[in-house]
Amino acid sequence: MLKLAIITNLYPPQILGGYEILCAQVCRHLRDRGHALAIITSDGGIDGAPSPPPEAGITRTLRLYLPFNRPGRLLRGARWRVGRANYAATRAWLQRERPDVVFVWSQLRLTLGPARAAHDLGLPVVYTFNDLHPASYVPVRWRWSPRGMAAWLLDHVLLRSITWRGLDLDRAQTTCISRIVKDDLLASGMPIAGSRVIYQGIEIENFPLKPAPGLIHLPARILYTGQLHAYKGVHRIIEAVNLLARRRPELVHSLTLVGTGPQAFVDELRALAAAGAVPVEFPGKVAHDTLPAIYRAHDVFVFASVREAFGLTFIEAMASGTPVISTATGGQGEVLRDGETALIFRTDDSHDLAAKLEYLLTQPDTARRIALAARQLVEHSLSLTPYVDQLEKFVTAQMRARP
């Protein structure tokens, strides 16, 4: 059995999205398998928010260079200052904990200071890349302009510690959550050609199957869960259900959008919804343990992201027996099969989404067949057990490969 040091920007109860929940689930499963874990993270980085209560095995001394309640910015100076502080805190922590392997989860707004501390101590380090945030630490390329040359000088000479320079990523052990994440990170300049793709999963036991998987009740209740951002395509869902309702009003009862996002965009969504004919509910952010009942209470789940690293919510809906209509321009397109485990619509095309909704709502046999096949896919390939199995084998293999 191993002692693992987990480095991550956030850890429950501090949650930005599904990846923090996934991290905690993976940690729990690794503990259940006999591994010892120590976790270092931040206190959430929200101005004025109380810190979580102390918890055994979790150290919350790291800092974020920019709180998550503020829009993202480069802020090289802040990254350098916070990175130095995080380096010192992590180095001291690792020297106390003496782990066998360091597992770096998410570094979004955390800086690379903690990862540098692990590398400088000579510890084996494994990274998991669940989105494209690591590309923000790639040093800029040379540009023949005063601003471009100044940025290059900062990233390559003066503040090189805020970038991947010196971390020898081409020899580090990394995993990516999907092929599209790996390809995009390679295109950004990260030398991770040897990175292994491991698809994430969910705790399927938390999402029991409906008594009648795929059963459509007309008029139907349509569901989206996740962050409310433009790149998630949420506005296209509102447009699509209203297009369908104008043509076939007997098919659509309501649309539920679970989640939160930037207030300006949420206001735009509310205005778009108010102008339509379909009631749209905005319950906001809900407790994760209430989601299974929400999935089972709806007839169709829509996953409309323009370009998603992978995602968890469409898997949760599939596990629950709620048929999914999805885009395929992200990691989800690597596992979904059109007409078999989901219906695929053209990205950013509300008319095509409306057509796919109409088809699914009027073809009960298809809806049932898709829902059952999707549940089988989750059971066999997209539950947390095979995900943790692969991560555990990957980390163990790297430890054994050490001289």
Residue-level pLDDT at 52? 75
| 200 in Cβ contact with 387 (< 8 Å) | yes
* Spatial distance between the Cα atoms of 9 and 44, rounded to a whole number of angstroms: 8
* Spatial distance between the Cα atoms of 313 and 400, rounded to a whole number of angstroms: 35
Nearest Cα to 124, choosing from 26, 30, 39, 3? 3
CATH 3.40.50.2000, the chain: domain bounds: 3-201+384-400, 204-381
Looking at CATH, the fold of the domain delimited by 3-201+384-400 is given as Rossmann fold (3.40.50)
Residue-level pLDDT at 92? 97
List, for residues 289-310, the tens digit of each pLDDT value: 999 999 999 999 999 999 889 9
For residue 225, list its beta bridge partners.
258
Residue-level pLDDT at 43? 85
* Spatial distance between the Cα atoms of 163 and 140, rounded to a whole number of angstroms: 9
Task: Count the neighbouring beta carbons within 10 Å of the beta carbon of residue 330.
Answer: 21
Residue-level pLDDT at 168? 76
Rounded to 5, what percent of the chain is helix, strand, coil? 45, 15, 40
Residue-level pLDDT at 74? 86
CA torsion, ordered 373, 377, 380, 381, to nearest 10 deg: 170
Residues 6+ apart with CB under 8 A from 192: 129, 169, 170, 174, 176, 182, 185, 186
Residue-level pLDDT at 45? 67
Residue-level pLDDT at 288? 87
pLDDT under 70: residue ranges of the chain? 45-50, 170-172, 399-403
Residues 6+ apart with CB under 8 A from 384: 25, 26, 29, 201, 202, 203, 204
Nearest Cα to 328, choosing from 303, 361, 352? 303
Residue-level pLDDT at 395? 87
Residues 28-59 as b/e (b if ≥16 CB within 10 A, e otherwise) read ebbeeeebebbbbbbbbbeeeeeeeeeeeebb
Residues 6+ apart with CB under 8 A from 129: 174, 175, 176, 177, 181, 182, 185, 192, 195
CATH of segment(s) 204-381: 3.40.50.2000
For residue 59, list its beta bridge partners.
40
